[in-house]
Amino acid sequence: MARVFMKGCEAIAEAAVRSGCRFFAGYPITPQNEIPEYMSRRMPEVGGVFVQGESEVASINMIFGAAQTGTRAMTSSSSCGISLMSEGLSFLAGARVPMVVVNVQRGGPGIGAIQPAQQDYLQATKASGNGGFQMMVLAPSTVQEAVDMTFAAFDYAQRDRNPVMVLADGVIGTIMEPVTLPEARSSEQVAELKASCRSWALVGHDLSCEPRALVDSGDWDTKGMEQKNIEASALYESWKKDAQAEELFLDDAEVVVAAYGISGRIARSAVSLLRQEGLKVGLIRPKTVNPFPFESFDKLDYHRVKAILDVEMSIPAQMLYDVRMAVRGRCGISTCLHSGGEILGRHEIMDSVRGLFK
């Protein structure tokens, strides 16, 4: 298909439409405003529904209602707005209702800054809401990856009957790049996807011949919460097979840079330039941050790899916790960090790596 030049947020929205999203509810917040703005125009064109909620709390609960019918639904926000949605996300996960949520991260804590940051990693991967539920979390480093991951997120959500998050940032959301858009699913395909949810969705079942569908956040009468949590835990464990990472120059690397999202993109460029200087440096860039690609770190030869450099736009570091779990004390770990809307410079990563070699 032909490549088109699109802003990140608008490309995410178009990818959602092409994946079959037919309901969007959201509330404006920088730097993701172009997603609801785009959806307000695009949803009516495909027979979908757009609602600007009066708040993030209202919006996530509208998503809950729409997604219960088997309709592919999405919301988006940024950082503090995602916090307001946390209770609704917990209910969606408890009821095993599929949907997609996009977080275009900004600086914090609190209201913070509208500039890009990566300070929501722990929230996204460890504590998106109460009750210990988890979501698959996809982390793009380019607009093209944001398109591909958003399109796939709806399929993951429906496969698992569970919310899925696309964890972007203000850079990915606002830059413009050429992208190749996936082929749009036809109206017939979208209808088939919805029909495949009939066994559980609230779609007006005929009680004379079909069991009544019930979407219940507790299943109190039939299973009890502990059994539901056991089943959810097994689901989360099954995601290990879905872990993805970009691995670059690991065959002979003595220092490995670990970074995701926009930091991973900057790190990739820094690593390539350091290679031209003759330094044996490699890169692990998680594409899924939940599940985390632990296997990529297990494959390293720790007789040769002397240090890992964790690079992220968060102070204190957050992905560092997973990197430590992955390394398990087999080599030293250093950090190169910015936060609060300050974007990493390639030279800073390069200087940090040179320092490790010295």
Q: Has domain 246-357 been given CATH number 3.40.50.920?
A: yes
The DSSP result for 22-71, as a single string, is -EEEE---TT-THHHHHHHHHHHHTT-EEEE-SSHHHHHHHHHHHHTTT-
Nearest in space to 188 (alpha carbons), one of 20, 13, 1, 14:
20
CA dist 255 and 269 (Å) reads 15
Task: Report domain extents, the chain.
Answer: 3-196+230-240, 246-357
Q: What pLDDT, on a 0 to 100 scale, did the predictor assign at position 212?
A: 57
Q: Collapsing DSSP states into helix, strand and coil, what is residue 112? A: coil
Beta pairing partners, 37: none
pTM greater than 0.85 (yes/no):
yes
Quote the CA–CA distance of 63 and 154 in Å, as a whole number: 14
Same-fold call for 3-196+230-240 versus 246-357 = yes
Share of the chain above pLDDT 90, in %: 87
Residue 146's pLDDT is what?
Answer: 98
Q: Would you place residue 213 in the very low, low, confident or very high pLDDT band (cuts 50, 70, 90)?
A: low
- Decide if pLDDT at 214 tops 60: no
- Residue 210 binned pLDDT confidence (cut-offs 50, 70, 90): low
Half-sphere exposure of 272 (CA within 13 A, CB side): 7
Tell the CATH topology of 3-196+230-240. Rossmann fold (3.40.50)
Does the structure show a pLDDT above 60 at 221?
no
105/223: higher pLDDT:
105
Q: Which amino acid, residue 321?
A: Y
Distance CA 79, CA 7 (A): 20
Report pLDDT for 215.
58
Average pLDDT (153-163) is 98
H helix count then E strand count, the chain: 14, 14
For a pLDDT cut of 70, what percent of the chain falls above it?
94
pLDDT the model gives residue 199: 86
The whole-number pLDDT of residue 206 equals 65
Q: Which pLDDT belongs to residue 224? A: 75
Position 268 confidence tier, pLDDT thresholds 50, 70, 90: very high
* Contact predicate 7/144, CB 8 Å: no
